[in-house]
Every structure is written in C-alpha cells, then in structure tokens.
Structure 1
Amino acid sequence: MIQEYRLKDGTKRYLIKCYMGLDSLTGKRITTTRRGFRTQKEASLAEARLKLEYEEKTFNAKNSKYTFQQIYELFLVEHKNTVKPGTYATTRRYAKLHILPKIANKRIDSFTVLDCQKLVNQWAEYFNSAKYPKGITQQVFDYAIKMNIITDNPMRKVKLPKRKETINEVNKFYNTDELKHFFDCVKDYGNMKYLAFFRLLAFTGMRKGEALALNWSDIDFNKKQVHITKGVVLDENEIPIISTTKTKKSVRTVSLDDESLAILRKWKLEQAKELMSIGINSLNKHQLLFTYDANKLYRPSYSNCWLEQIIKKYNLKKITMHGFRHSHCSLLFEMGTPIQVVQDRLGHTNIKTTMDIYTHVTEKQRDDIAENFAKHIGF
C-alpha cells in the first residue's frame, strides 16, 4: 500500500506499507513500512523490490529445511515418467540400500564437495566402481537445482576413484576347453532347460534377461536366427516383467549354429510335454522359452542359482552369468572376428565395451607370441 504524507515544511513524500504474511512462530502479521520516497513511482518500485526480497528470503529459509530424502522422493515422481520400468526399479533399489541409509536426513543445501567425495569413495570400496550410485545422487541434486532449491551441484565436482583391478579380472570367463567341459557337466546334470539356456548365452552372447524374455516365435529355425527385441526386468514392486532391451543397439538378430538349434528343438518338445501335463498348451507364438510353475516368468536373478548348482556339483571355475557373454566375445576375437561384427552381435552401444574385452584377448596372445614363434620355427 502506498500513502502520501507531508513533511513539516509541506514537501510531499510517499510511504509504503507491505503485508508480508504471518510469523510462523508467533502467528502475528508481518508488516514492513518504508518512507521518504519523492514520487509515487519511486515508492511503487521500492514496494515491488521489498516484496521480492522477502519472498526470496522466505523461500530460501523454507528450502534450507529440505532433506535429501524429501528431494529424492520428489525426483522419483518425474524419474518414473522418463525412464524404463527396469531403470526406475534399479534406481529405487540402489537408493534404498546404498544411498538413503547414508544421507537421507542430511539437508540438501548442506552438502559440500568434500562430503560428496567421501561418499563416492565409500561406494567405490563397496562396488569397485561408484558410477551408478554417484549418478543417481547427482540426478537428485540436479533436480533440486531445477526446482530452485539449491544453486550448485557438489556431486558434479567429484572425481570417480580409479576402478580397482581385481586379481582374476581377465579370468572371469571360460576359454574353449573350459566352456566345453562346462557343457559336458550340464549334459551330465540332465536338465534340458539349463542346457538350452546356457547354450544360448554362450553361443550367442545374449544377456540372461534377453534369454528369459524369448518367445518361441523369436527363434527362426529355418533361417537359423534368434531375434532379440526385449528383456526381463523387475518393476518397482520387484515383479518380473517384459520390457525393452537395455539399449536400442541391443535389438538385433543373431545367427545360431546347428547344435544350438538341435538343443532348442529338444527343449521345445520337452517343455510342451511338461506344460501339457498341467493343462497348458504351449503351442502359441507367445510361449516363452523359459518358465516355471504354471508358465510364470522368471526373475533374472533366478538363473544365477542354476549356474551355482552346476559349478558347485562339478567343482568348476567360478564365473558370473555375464561371464558367458564375456566368453562368447573373447572367443570371437580369438577366431579373428572383426571388432565391428562382435559389437553388433553382442549389441554393445559403446565400442569401448567391446574394446575392453578385445584388449584382454590380445594381451594373452601377445604373451604367447614368443613360445608359439619358437614352436613354429622348430629350434
């Protein structure tokens, strides 16, 4: 409100009275008065500036009380609508297990670069690489900036610690002899489902989630191909669902060898008999290759148990499920397959992923050069 008044000498002046709201502690009205303005326009500008300054001060005071978890929960609402269900579910799992337990109640405006660096260092010790939890936390800070809650993202100024090289980094896959022995053991184990599943992983390089999402219509027995167009992921409720592939590059068609096709035919027949025994007709194009109970979809992690069973019973070298993909890639390189062909077959979006494995193979070949050369020369 602007009012006109007079000085003792009769000079005209203007004053402003601004109502700012209620005091959060006392509940009383907050009113600010300023006087001495020579013109009404000058008073009007001062009034606008005063209100803006107060709103900014109040807004900042209010925002400074936000915790990381409060901002994270707001971020999740937007995040859910911009990423795939599997990515959203993974974000929530990482946050619940590894991020929120450490910083949930810390005020969002109180983080320093040093705080964030210490946090990332801790994650690096646990995960061997802190890239994923750092990325999630960084996105939450970015969201807070977008909402004008903070003005800077300290996590963006943090350096990722160098990834620790594990002793058996190069040996987390099977060579030709080890792979042959593994499949001899699987055949001896006597489970056709396991044999078909591991054969697909080892002889196509597909991911376990991609294999578990396959329908029989994705297998072209005539053209000897498998069409990889989807994958199994967990939704926000930890329930397995069919989703898109990991990346656009992961949508691909991969050739199959005759032995793999023969194994798949045997498994298809055995599966049909198993499902028929419980009243389920599997002769439809949407029938999945791998299911359990009443034709239910497997969780991706469930297949890890199959591998553990085989390794434990036959005392085999331990590798992860992803090791079969690594094995396939490595053996392709040993055959002399061009890098671009390997990248396309495995659906690697980033050529660096392919090159990392290529480096392992070529280093091994480099170490064997001297001995192989001597054998070739013969003296």
Structure 2
Amino acid sequence: MADVSRRCGCRDESGKVYGTTAATRCPQMANPRHGSWGFRFSAGSVPDPQPGAPGKTKRRYVQEWGYKTAKEAKEAREAAGKKYKGQGDRFFDKTTVGEFLTDWMDRQERQGELRPSTARMYRSYLVKDIVPVLGDKRLVKLTRNDVAGFVDSLRDAGRGATTVRRIHATLSSALSSAVKRGMLDFNPASRADLPDAAHDQVKVWGRDDTLRFLEAAHEHRLGDLYEVAIMTGLRRGELCGLRWEDVDLVEGRLSVRRNLVQVGNEVREGQPKTTAGERSVGIPAHVVDLLAKLKDRQDAEREAWAEAYQDSGRVFTYEDGRQLRPGYPSKVLETLVKRLGLPSMRFHDLRHLFASIQLDAGTPMAMVSKLMGHSTIAITADLYSHLMDDAAARAAEAAASWLRPSPAPVVEPVEGL
C-alpha cells in the first residue's frame, strides 16, 4: 500500500498539470499549506477495456485527494483499504441507486412479480420520490444514514405516515434484491426509524342507514352488487371480476378466483390480492334469489341488444354486457350516499360493514378473517378489535349466566286457586 502524499492541480506555462517529481513539481509545493493530501494504492490488474488490446491488462488504483493533513489522508487510506479488501471488485461498481432501481423495477414488471396496480405505485414512488433524492449516489456507497436522511426529508415535506412507510418499503424491497444479487452486503434501508401509522377505528353504518341505502340502491342496476358486497365482504375488484362460472346458485356459494384492477385507463384481470384471497364464500338465500333474478335480467338484455351485446361473462356488467370499470361502482356509491345524506362511506367500507355484521352476530374472528380473505388473522384483529367489545361483553354475561343461573321467579299463589 502506497504512502500518502501531497499534490496540487496547478498547471505550468504550457497548460499541463505539474508532475510529482522534483523536476516537474509545482514551485508552490514548498509551502506546506499548498495543495492537498491524499492516497493511492494498487488494486490489482483488470482486462484492458481499450479496443484492439485482447489479452492485455491494466493496473487499477484506489485513490482519493482533498484532505487537509497527512493524518486525515492516512485514516482515509486505511478505511478504503479495509473496504476494498471486504468488497473486492464490487468496490469499483459505479452503478448508481437510480440505475439499479430502474433495472429492478423493469425486471419486476417483466417477470410479473407484482400486481399491475402495485407496480404502478412502486414506479411512481421511484420516479417522483426516491430517485430525485438518492438516484445519483453510487449503490455501493449508500448508507443507513443516507436512507435516514431521505425518510426525514419525506416527513419534513409533510408526507403522511402511511405514505412514508410505503415509499420506504419500496426502497427496502429493491435493496433486498441487491443484497441477494451480491451487489450489497446488507440492506441500508433496514432498521430505519419510521413514523407510526396508527389505524383509525373503522366506522360503519348502523342497521337503519344500511337498509335505507340498499332500498335506494336497488333503484340502480348496481343495487345487487352493493348488497352482495355487504353480505359477502368481497373487494371491489373481486366483485367486478366475478364470472357466472364462479357462482353456484344451487349450493349458495361464490368462488373468488380473480380480481379486476384499473391501471390508468386500462382494466386488467389478475389474481386476488393475497393467496388467502382465493376462497369460497357462502351466500344467504335472499342473495341467491337476487342473483337468479339478475341472471334472468342479463339474459333479457342479451336478447334486446342482439349482435351489439358484448358478453363478458361477468356477473355485474353494463347494460350491453361489458365488464365494469372498477371505479364506476365507487362513483355511483358516492353519488347515492350524498343524495341520501348518509354518513360518508367508501366502497371499501362496505367490506368493513360486512365484518361488523358478522362479528355482531357472534361469528368467530378466525372465520371472519377467512371469509374476508385476509392473509393472517392478525390483520383482521388489528382492524376490528374494537368491534369485539360488545361481543366480548355478551360472552362474559353468557358465561356468568351458565355458572350462576338466575333463580327461578317466585310465583305468589293466587287466592282461590
């Protein structure tokens, strides 16, 4: 390993940078404060990249200048030597964070690793948030402190806790891939200090508001869709993707096998959100009747539209048979809720309403989790634990009643009987 040395960037009268030998050295180097300290050491030989030089090699060096003292330069040299020894050729990888993230995202989309809507969200975070801040930095030099500063910048910019966590998760997922590929020794995004994203307690309609909504909704062709949503807990995309082949009116069951998502102006069919999302859901008798009547109505529409009918095979469609755009049921719901003056309700809240009805009826949390297609019961418990308070109180009273039943009422004898 070479010793540290001092040099400057001054040029001679011909415009050439002064050399390092006594004959070519800058005259001002006699001043110990002139120039800066640095180091340079050999890092072996590599194939010569120049055209026309097959089989030849060139020596590679690690060097860095700009230190004020020889001591600083020596400390930097030792640190660089240790890092080079640990990383080997990876030490010279000039791939930037931006280049790696772009390649990673392209690979994810090409291999179909992500749902279309998720891929679109990830790319948006990369382009708008991550790359502008960290993109120019070399991947091998990215540190936990760099990521911490990035997270702080998001919070300072007023981004919500949930959004910050999602952006960080995108970056962390990409960097985990870099570790697996041997481009990094560890994930610099791990152990980041992230803001808490506490769940707001789920608020849903009561029985009277629900019945009022359904009565008004059935004046619209999507009325059946909303009732099925409330009675089954299916997601919006699962309802829009439902086909008649997924419906068993004899057994009273729906099979959730697909999910429609809207990516920009394009509607794509994919798998349910989670592996647990592929499930079979029972439907009550009155919903079976609703769907049977809907099928008859759809047959009549098919006959009325004749050749113009576009048979998508979906359960819920436009009048001409086309599959629904997932955003459409949400817009109709918003319009109906405002017209009726009901408390605000998003489409996804109908899923919460289903959970509330089930838990209030005494359905075990594990069964509710399975019906909703949650990946774990912990997700269900986290969302709806506050809805269990009344059910827990009823269970406690039932247990107390079983252990110490109320005494039989004393009947006073009636005179004359």
> Cα 1:58–1:339, aligned 2, differ >3 Å: closer, same or farther?
closer
Aligned-pair distance for 1:351? 0.6
Whole-Å separation in 2 of the counterparts to 1:31 and 1:283: 67
> Cα 1:268–1:113, aligned 2, differ >3 Å: closer, same or farther?
same
Report the AA paired with residue 355 of structure 1.
A
Q: Of residues 136, 141, 145 in structure 1, which corresponds to 2:175?
A: 141
> Cα 1:32–1:109, aligned 2, differ >3 Å: closer, same or farther?
closer
Partner of 1:73: 102
> Cα 1:175–1:148, aligned 2, differ >3 Å: closer, same or farther?
same
Residue 153 in structure 1 maps to residue 187 in structure 2: yes
Partner of 1:42: none
Cα contact 2:161–2:196 (8 A) shared by 1:
no
Partner of 2:162: 128
Residue 324 in structure 1 maps to residue 350 in structure 2: yes
The superposition leaves residues 11-55 of structure 1 with CA deviations (integer Å, 9 ceiling, x where unpaired) of: xxxxxx96752689xxxx97559xxxxxxxxxxxxxxxxxxx89x
Partner of 1:233: 261
Higher helix share: 1
> Cα 1:97–1:177, aligned 2, differ >3 Å: closer, same or farther?
farther
Partner of 2:236: 208
Residue 244 in structure 1 maps to residue 271 in structure 2: yes
Whole-Å separation in 2 of the counterparts to 1:70 and 1:196: 49
> Cα 1:62–1:111, aligned 2, differ >3 Å: closer, same or farther?
closer
Cα contact 1:215–1:287 (8 A) shared by 2:
yes
Aligned-pair distance for 1:118? 4.4
Partner of 1:198: 226
Q: Of residues 97, 113, 118 in structure 2, which corresponds to 1:83?
A: 113
RMSD: 3.7
Whole-Å separation in 2 of the counterparts to 1:90 and 1:276: 41
> Cα 1:147–1:183, aligned 2, differ >3 Å: closer, same or farther?
same
Helix, strand or coil for the counterpart of 2:280? strand
Residue 170 in structure 1 maps to residue 181 in structure 2: no
Where does the alignment leave 5 or more consecutive residues of structure 1 unmatched? 1-16, 34-52, 370-379
Partner of 1:343: 369
Q: Of residues 267, 292, 295 in structure 2, which corresponds to 1:268?
A: 295
Partner of 1:308: 334
Helix, strand or coil for the counterpart of 1:274? helix
Report the AA paired with residue 341 of structure 2.
N
Helix, strand or coil for the counterpart of 1:157? coil
Cα contact 1:129–1:161 (8 A) shared by 2:
no
Cα contact 2:310–2:322 (8 A) shared by 1:
no
Bigger relative CO (Cα 8 Å, ≥ 6 apart)? 1
Whole-Å separation in 1 of the counterparts to 2:145 and 2:58: 41
Aligned-pair distance for 1:75? 1.0
Helix, strand or coil for the counterpart of 1:324? helix
Report the AA paired with residue 108 of structure 2.
H
Max Rg structure: 2
> Cα 1:19–1:275, aligned 2, differ >3 Å: closer, same or farther?
closer
Q: How many residue pairs align between the two structures?
A: 322
Helix, strand or coil for the counterpart of 2:213? helix
Residue 92 in structure 1 maps to residue 123 in structure 2: yes
Structure-2-length-normalised TM-score: 0.66
Helix, strand or coil for the counterpart of 2:272? coil
Q: Of residues 364, 373, 381 in structure 2, which corresponds to 1:355?
A: 381
Cα contact 1:329–1:357 (8 A) shared by 2:
no
Aligned-pair distance for 1:112? 3.2
Whole-Å separation in 2 of the counterparts to 1:206 and 1:318: 20
Structure-1-length-normalised TM-score: 0.72
Partner of 1:184: 215
Aligned-pair distance for 1:97? 4.8
1:272-283 → structure 2 map (5 Å cutoff): 272-280=299-307
Q: Of residues 48, 64, 67 in structure 2, which corresponds to 1:21?
A: 48
> Cα 1:150–1:360, aligned 2, differ >3 Å: closer, same or farther?
same
Aligned-pair distance for 1:205? 0.5
Whole-Å separation in 1 of the counterparts to 2:149 and 2:302: 54
> Cα 1:102–1:360, aligned 2, differ >3 Å: closer, same or farther?
farther
The superposition leaves residues 264-287 of structure 1 with CA deviations (integer Å, 9 ceiling, x where unpaired) of: 233323333334433359798x61
Report the AA paired with residue 214 of structure 1.
L
Whole-Å separation in 1 of the counterparts to 2:170 and 2:317: 33
Where does the alignment leave 5 or more consecutive residues of structure 2 unmatched? 1-43, 61-83, 396-417
Cα contact 1:69–1:104 (8 A) shared by 2:
yes
Q: Of residues 144, 151, 156 in structure 2, which corresponds to 1:113?
A: 144
Helix, strand or coil for the counterpart of 2:313? coil
Whole-Å separation in 1 of the counterparts to 2:243 and 2:286: 19
Helix, strand or coil for the counterpart of 1:170? coil
Partner of 1:375: none
Whole-Å separation in 2 of the counterparts to 1:364 and 1:247: 30
Cα contact 2:252–2:288 (8 A) shared by 1:
yes
Aligned-pair distance for 1:243? 1.5
